[in-house]
A and B are shown apart, each in its own frame.
Chain A
Amino acid sequence: MWQSMSTETFLFETARWILFAVITFVMPILTIGVVRKTRARMQGRMGAPLLQALFDLRKLMQKSEAVSSTATWIFRSGAGIELANMLLLSTLVPWIANKPDGVSSDLFLIVYLFALSRLFAILAALDSGSPFGAFGSSRDATLAMLVEPASLLALVSLAVVAKSTEMNVIFSLTNVLLAHDPGLWFLAGTAIVMASLVELSRMPVDDPATHLELTMIHEAMLLESSGRNLALREFTRALKMTVLFGLSAQCYLRAWDDFWHFPVVAQVWLSIGGILGLALLVGLFESVSVKLQWRKVPEFISYCMTLSLLAAMVAVARGVVH
């Protein structure tokens, strides 16, 4: 591979990867910052600085760790595995325009790599021996099971029209098969946003700002983590948020016909703007919404499922036309 590349291409590719790495590190911090800042401003508070998440990470990295006496290596390694997995996912998922191509980007691989992350999160939470970790995992697994068909179906609808399950092909801006299909992109984007809210344990499924252990889903699994372990988990979560928001932002952007013809730089800026815009919307939504009762969460997921089904119907209808 390397031999066939000219020096110029090699330098160009390296620069692209470096730029991508910087964006991958900065965007999660900014995304979290925008959500929190929006929530604070909506509540009439000034709120913490936009980069507070970065300061928190720095603080956590310097702190010592308290580890439960029942915890084994699974608990300690969980955070690292999750982060590694999430970093891998960030190179596979087309969450930003003009992302350098990863090794493979099959959508089934991506969906189940997300599931792998969850497996280790659950194992680590169970391993800590805390009852909160246990019921947090149980809730997390239940939600994941319910939301998985919805997110998968949304992506498969796109794949049907693109005639490939490779995300790089589906989201390629030179792929004419999906070039003029704003309806499908919009449905898929919305389904993915709604699925992300469940996946990320945000309102209306879970209140990320709560201190009440008994109502928590994702936070309950983090209660036993501290210091570096917590820093890694917090960053993983922020990265996951960025990647998922990025994926839906890409769908929305492709629903806009002009986007396809913009220069690359503009597309990248619009991608970043799209993620931050979604973060802003989520912040606004979280400020005025009420957390659903646990038994009503499947109802919310069913809305998401309905959108995915609509997307699937659109995709199948197009198949008939062609």
Chain B
Amino acid sequence: MIENAHIVRINVDGQERMTRLKTMLHVPGNRLGLITSIDGSQLVTLLLDTNTGRSTVWETPLSSDVYPSLTMMIPQCHWFERSTWDMFGLKPNGHPRLKHNLLHEPYDASLFPLKTDHEVESHDTDRFYKCLEVRGQGVYEIPVGPIHAGIIEPGHFRFSCLGEVILNLEIRLGYVHRGVEKRIVEVPLSRMRFVAESAAGDMIAANALAHAVAVESCLQIEESPRARAFRTISLELERIAMHVSDLGGLAGDIGFAAVSTSMAILRGDVLGCAELLTGTRFQKGFIAPGGISREPSDKNLSQLRTNLKKIQLKLKPIVDFLFSNQVARDRMTNVGILTPKLAADFGVVGVAGRASGIAYDARKSFVHGCFPRQNMVLPVQQAGDVLSRAKVRAEELRSSLEIIYEILETLPGGDTAGAHHDLRSLNRFKFKTNDCGIGIVESFRGELIHLFFTDGDGKIIRYAIKDPSVNNWTALAIAVRNNLLSDFPLCNKSFGLSYSGHDL
């Protein structure tokens, strides 16, 4: 058993894993973080305790490439088991819909990119993929994508419809799989952060922070209070920019041009604030293990505060306009309902979770930036419809602005690079052998996990990234059932999920 500040790593055998996981997940506050493997000879199950902020890694050694699937008992395992099959060739026996998530037909059937321990034997002759077929009189299929009309990422949606009503939606992802998890362990530590923050282009601050927290937790170093303050502002600015953008997107999807354009302009203003803080609008290269890479000037900071105040003044009437428009409310109410029960079963995180009665925000539980803040009030809604998700976003915009003001009020002085000033010298640091590091961050989409393992030489051999979209894509597919086909884009936008974050 290895233990550091935030993480416990224990061995759990296969039989015990099955029985214990189910009972553990019944305890309120416990969550399944992710399921994966290190090199293909074991299963890794990450359990999170959101009450204490501690994480437990269960390592289950495997003797063969086949293991019993837990999906029928614990539905939220299904996506993890499918991805683990793709990456390591570990086949979950009894999985109800085992399909390839990430590696599509063109890839060689015997390719398991992250499996390193021994010779790979393939179970399949090809990577044939078949969407679930809904039969019945009048049922027809509509394939949408992978290339979409807007400037967005690729993903395939297969709708089975009866008239204008969606009976079933199958989502196929993986079109932007680019091997992030493999590449990240190949680059030196000092450059790892650039790969990490590229996992999803709109979650740069969150990914960079999760990476920094993970590395710091393993090295057992701490950033300076001033750097911590700036990291938090950076994370919250990203949240504000994206929530503004998502609310504008919702308005755009119901043809509410007045609100969508105003929001697009405001998002630009927020990104301008991010530039004042970090030097780039999308905050690339700002947060780094050990601290931050660039100290914002006092002039910029006071400018940042004035600009944010201005943005807040402009934001309120636009948000009110959106929520007070009767037709807009009508379009969002009772559409795309995700019931709290299903949200809990599928481990839904972030905005979608809080809109469906799940009172979980990593900012309340886990160490990152100035968090955890135990006294945070979460804007939990019970209805689980598009309107609830919009309301959660609007509430979080307010709380994020308050967090930033509060931090700017009480900005600590001192160094920003912490005790480890020279970020370039990061390569000198040596990880402990057979250790692991974890960073859990509440990105604007929800819980983001970076988890890595070191080998016998203290080198990182496995770096797993769990984007919040991994939990939520299934929730979207469930939420749109029995809704109107023409309401799908609205539901989709209300979840606001990432393709690249999922595909990695």
Contacts and interface: CB of A to CB of B under 8 A. Distances in A.
B487 A42 contact: no
A213 B144 contact: yes
A23 interface: no
B373 interface: no
Interface string A200-244: 000110010111111100000000000000000000000000000
A204 to B, nearest CB: 7
Interface string B232-272: 00000000000000000000011111100110010000000
Contacts of A214: 142, 144, 485-486, 488-489
- Which of B142, B257, B325 lies at the interface centre, i.e. has the most chain A CB atoms within 10 A of its CB? B257
B331 interface: yes
A287 B253 contact: no
- Among B142, B149, B255, the most chain A Cβ lie within 10 Å of the Cβ of B255
A287 B327 contact: no
B153 to A, nearest CB: 14
A140 to B, nearest CB: 13
Interface string A124-167: 00000001100100010000000000000000000000000000
A101 B201 CA distance: 62
Contacts of A287: 257-258
Contacts of A135: 142, 164, 485
A148 B495 CA distance: 38
Contacts of B256: 289-291
A45 interface: yes
Interface in B106-164: 140-144, 149-150, 164
Contacts of B141: 131
Given A292-B327, A293-B484, A286 B257 contact: yes
A131 B331 contact: no
B142 A215 contact: no
A241 B485 CA distance: 27
B376 to A, nearest CB: 33
Contacts of A45: 261
B255 A207 contact: yes
Given A42-B258, A211-B150, A291-B255, A296 B330 contact: yes
A243 to B, nearest CB: 25
A294 B296 CA distance: 50
Interface residues of B, number: 29
B21 interface: no
Given A290-B328, A291-B254, A291-B331, A44 B261 contact: yes
Contact of B257 (A209, A215, A296): A209
Contacts of A37: none
A213 B258 contact: no
A293 B258 contact: no
Nearest to B493: A212
Contacts of A286: 255, 257
A39 B325 CA distance: 19
Contacts of A289: 255-256, 327
Interface in A288-321: 288-296
Contacts of B150: 211-212
B257 to A, nearest CB: 5
A43 interface: yes
B65 to A, nearest CB: 39
A292 B144 CA distance: 23
Contacts of A292: 327, 331
B72 to A, nearest CB: 32
Interface in B309-326: 325
Contacts of B331: 290-293
Given A215-B489, A290-B327, A39 B257 contact: yes
B487 A293 contact: yes
B486 A213 contact: no
Nearest to A203: B255
Contact of B142 (A39, A42, A131): A131
Given A131-B140, A135-B142, A290 B485 contact: no
A179 B330 CA distance: 43
B223 to A, nearest CB: 41
A135 to B, nearest CB: 7
Contacts of B484: 293-295
A42 B259 CA distance: 11
A215 B493 CA distance: 13
A33 B486 CA distance: 28
Contacts of B485: 135, 214
Interface string B393-412: 00000000000000000000
Nearest to A217: B486
Contact of B255 (A132, A213, A290, A296): A290
Contact of A43 (B149, B257, B328): B257
Contacts of B488: 214
B257 A294 contact: no
Given A43-B257, A135-B485, A214-B485, A294 B327 contact: no
Interface in A11-32: none
B144 A44 contact: no
Contacts of B489: 212, 214-215
B259 to A, nearest CB: 9
B255 A210 contact: yes
B322 to A, nearest CB: 9
Contacts of B328: 290
B258 A288 contact: yes
A290 B254 CA distance: 6
Interface in A241-265: none
B257 A212 contact: no
Given A45-B261, A214-B144, A290 B325 contact: yes
Interface string B259-293: 00110010000000000000000000000000000
B253 to A, nearest CB: 7
Nearest to B163: A138
Contact of A294 (B143, B149, B486): B486
Interface string A66-91: 00000000000000000000000000
A147 to B, nearest CB: 18
The listed residue with most B CB atoms (<10 A of its CB), out of A45, A210, A296, is A210
Contacts of B143: 131
Most buried by B among A42, A43, A293: A293
Contacts of A215: 253, 486, 489
13 contacts: A43-B258, A135-B142, A203-B255, A207-B255, A211-B149, A213-B144, A214-B489, A286-B255, A289-B255, A289-B256, A291-B255, A293-B330, A293-B484
Interface of A: 39, 42-45, 131-132, 135, 139, 203-204, 207, 209-215, 286-296
Given A135-B485, A293-B330, 10 more contacts: A43-B258, A43-B261, A135-B164, A212-B150, A214-B485, A287-B257, A289-B255, A290-B254, A291-B254, A294-B164
Interface of B: 140-144, 149-150, 164, 253-258, 261-262, 265, 325, 327-328, 330-331, 335, 484-489
The 9 closest A-B pairs by CB, nearest first: A291-B255, A207-B255, A43-B261, A211-B149, A290-B327, A212-B489, A131-B142, A215-B486, A211-B150
